[in-house]
Structure 1
Amino acid sequence: MELSEWQALADTGLHTRMGLELLEVSPERARGRMPVEGNTQPYGLLHGGASCVLAEALASLAAVAAAGEGGAAYGIEINASHHEGARGGWVTGEARALRVGGTVGTWEVVLADDDGRRLCTARVTCAIRRPKREPKPSAD
């Protein structure tokens, strides 16, 4: 799919409210960003949950790309370590496939601020449902 088609797929309620912008989507890597503004905790810092939303969104979209046309994917586990806070600008994330199998894949997601400082490292595991294939005709 073209990037605009991926963006349309991602433009759902939560992703739209978060301001998610996609930059690249493939089974091996997905990149995107979101603004810090509007995604903060009461103290003005980027909310850890917002970081998890960005990480899972990127990994899940890469998993959908791995599933192929007619397939589906969804997150089944996320682990995130928050290293730094951010008060403004953009958070950019990059999900890189660690392993993509037939039914499960795992991506490492690194989130960074505008200066390239690592804000969060996440690991996201997704279930992958590939489209069913028609059985081959028998050679009767």
Structure 2
Amino acid sequence: MIWRRAVTLEALNAMGAGNMVEHVGIRFVRLDDNALEATMPVDGRTQQPFGLLHGGASVVLAETLGSVAGYLCTEGEQKVVGVEVNANHLRSVREGLVRGVCRALHTGRRHQVWQIDIYDDRQRLCCTSRLTTSVI
């Protein structure tokens, strides 16, 4: 297991109250030994003007997952901040839920690299993203 902090899904979801996470409807749904997953609705909050999932909303889901996962790999007063994020949008989504799956590529003392894959309701890969964080 890579996590250094004990946490529940309920506690993770409570962290999103009153911020961007709540605004776009992100919900943490799974935490196992090596991965963190969350869902986000594709609706008026997350669609671009043409009715498709906004690429920026996908990045919000990716950065949320990577930042929270990064925090779970720290101890004490340590925190993480994102220093670089990229995303390749592979398939459009018009409705339903998307699911992000976050896994560590590197969890060092000063930097972390996270791979976040986002899938549609039919389990098709829609976006793949990488987030680099700095431990402070």
Structure 1 length as normaliser, TM-score? Answer: 0.87
Give 1:84 shift: 0.4
Q: Which of 67, 70, 75 is equivalent to 1:68?
A: 75
Count the aligned residue pairs.
129
Which SS does the other structure have where 2:53 is aligned? coil
Give 1:7 shift: 1.1
Answer whether contact 1:28 1:62 (CA < 8 A) is retained.
no
Q: Give the percent of matched residue pairs that are identical in Structure 1 and Structure 2.
A: 35
1:45-64 equivalence runs, <5 A: 45-64=52-71
Residues 105 and 12 (structure 1 numbering): CA distance in 2 closer, same or farther, change over 3 Å? Answer: farther
Q: Which residue of structure 1 lines up, in the alignment, with residue 41 of structure 2? A: 35
Residues 14 and 69 (structure 1 numbering): CA distance in 2 closer, same or farther, change over 3 Å? Answer: same
Give 1:73 shift: 1.0
Q: Which residue of structure 2 lines up, in the alignment, with residue 6 of structure 1? A: 12
Q: Which residue of structure 1 lines up, in the alignment, with residue 25 of structure 2? A: 19
Q: Distance in 2 between matches of 1:25 and 1:98?
A: 17
Q: Which residue of structure 2 lines up, in the alignment, with residue 92 of structure 1? A: 99
Give 1:40 shift: 0.4
Please list every run of at least 4 consecutive aligned residues from structure 1 whose deviation after the TM superposition is greater than 3 angstroms. Answer: 25-28
Which SS does the other structure have where 2:77 is aligned? coil
Q: Distance in 2 between matches of 1:28 and 1:74?
A: 20
Between 1:1-10 and 1:24-33, the stretch displaced more is 24-33
Answer whether contact 1:25 1:65 (CA < 8 A) is retained.
no
Residues 69 and 3 (structure 1 numbering): CA distance in 2 closer, same or farther, change over 3 Å? Answer: farther
Q: Distance in 2 between matches of 1:25 and 1:125?
A: 20
Unmatched segments (≥5 aa) in structure 2: 1-6
Give 1:8 shift: 1.1
Which SS does the other structure have where 1:67 is aligned? coil
Q: Return the index of the structure with the highest Cα Rg.
A: 1
Q: What amino acid sits opposite 1:61 in the alignment? A: V
Q: What amino acid sits opposite 2:10 in the alignment? A: S
Q: Distance in 2 between matches of 1:12 and 1:27?
A: 28
Give 1:74 shift: 1.6
Unmatched segments (≥5 aa) in structure 1: 130-140
Which SS does the other structure have where 2:49 is aligned? coil
